[in-house]
A and B are shown apart, each in its own frame.
Chain A
Amino acid sequence: MNFDYLEAPYRIRNDIPEAHRLIWQMIARPGNWWNGEDRVSIIAETRHAVDCELCRERRAALSPNSVKGEHTVVTNLPGPAVDAIHRIVTDASRLTETWLSDLYTKGMSDGGYIELLGIVVAVISIDGFHRAMGMPPEPLPEPVAGEPSGLRPEGLAEQGAWVEMISPLEVADTEADLYGNNKQAGNVIAAMSLVPDSVRMLKILSGVHYLDMHDVANPAANGGRSITRPQIELIAGRVSSLSDCFY
């Protein structure tokens, strides 16, 4: 069994490994734009990005664009995918719409990018938990055979972000679960709705790492955690600030 936390040095709530297992299963399956093998490769490349010398040099430079070179890679993913993964992992606060447009001219689709982003951030989060807990990263899942669905959901529209999103007011029945029949959703929830499973993975992980969506807007709620809501938000704010994240 993967994510077996019974051997962990600390007692870990059961809902955490359950969620992590589910995410690993979801990533291993073919998605909308990437097959299972590619999606597992995205995990591997996400983990490798922190060791990329080009990324280190770019991170230290005043402008990432001033440093030219090739990423060191551990997968056969296309170049634009590798660049997207490495930049999201190592220098996300300096991503720009121009950079994303450039990826598109090199063959990346908007759906492919959002699906990749959804996997990268899930892995960062799960691996981040392991690192914080002093546990080694989970081995890669076995990819599931099959082709990507090519699904592009209904209701996508430009809403001020770099990618199209689905408004809760325009969501189709097949994606109604994304917002739970709510008429509003924070932009960070809708951000990856171009690939609905990316939002589903976000909800699963946020539900165990932070709070259920229905608790987030209630400043008195702490989801039954052993730290108070102000303590939760202090950590959230500090991590966001360390990442130079305005949102």
Chain B
Amino acid sequence: MLRASTQVSGEEVNLKGIVEGNQVQTGLRGGEALIHFAETAVGDNVDAISVAREVVKDELGEKAMVDAACVIANFQRMVRIADGTGIPLDTPVAMMTSNIREDLGLNEYGSAGNTPALSLMQRLLGRVLQPALPLVVKLMTRNMSKPD
């Protein structure tokens, strides 16, 4: 969704920031501060968390810092649901992200084994459709996105 959202917003992003942290510049406003906040907040060094939190607050504002803390909290939950149930990656997502996962080395993660390998046709289709990712995501998930 990071790539899809930047395709929509027109921003350039270095996706390697996801796996390499602040070893790279993500290109997003406040990206370095947000990454550092995320990295410290999943640990237990309260002093480091405090410093990182204040940097986000100074760069992006208090409301943004609170929203960032929420997202950090959210994904500490979501990763454990995925890892705790062995769910495979949803096929449309797997198709559209196969090259990203390869580039970023995500296929090396242990939980990658929970997702069946894509067929050659699925991989090719994913690559062909990739430039239209935001639209494809919306179309493929339109039935998931209606309000209750």
Contacts and interface: CB of A to CB of B under 8 A. Distances in A.
Nearest to B62: A10
Interface of B: 1-2, 4-9, 11, 13, 15, 17-19, 21, 26, 28-31, 34-35, 37-39, 41-42, 44, 46, 49-50, 53, 57, 60-90, 93, 101, 104, 106-107, 109-112, 114-116, 133-134, 137-138, 141-148
A175 to B, nearest CB: 13
A93 B134 contact: no
Interface in A4-22: 10-13, 16
Contact of A246 (B46, B71, B106): B106
B89 A247 contact: yes
A220 B8 contact: yes
A169 to B, nearest CB: 10
6 contacts: A122-B77, A180-B147, A213-B145, A235-B34, A238-B39, A245-B82
A183 B143 contact: yes
B10 to A, nearest CB: 10
B5 A185 contact: no
Contacts of A133: 53, 66, 69
Contacts of B111: 93, 244-247
Interface of B is mostly: helix
Contacts of B69: 129, 132-133
A3 interface: no
A133 B70 CA distance: 9
Interface of A is mostly: helix
Interface residues of A, number: 85
Given A217-B145, A219-B1, A227-B64, 6 more contacts: A121-B84, A184-B144, A186-B90, A205-B77, A208-B70, A230-B28
B31 to A, nearest CB: 6
Nearest to B147: A214
B144 A213 contact: yes
Nearest to B30: A231
Nearest to A100: B86
Contacts of A95: 83-84, 86
A220 B9 CA distance: 7
Contact of B79 (A114, A227, A232, A239): A239
B68 A227 contact: yes
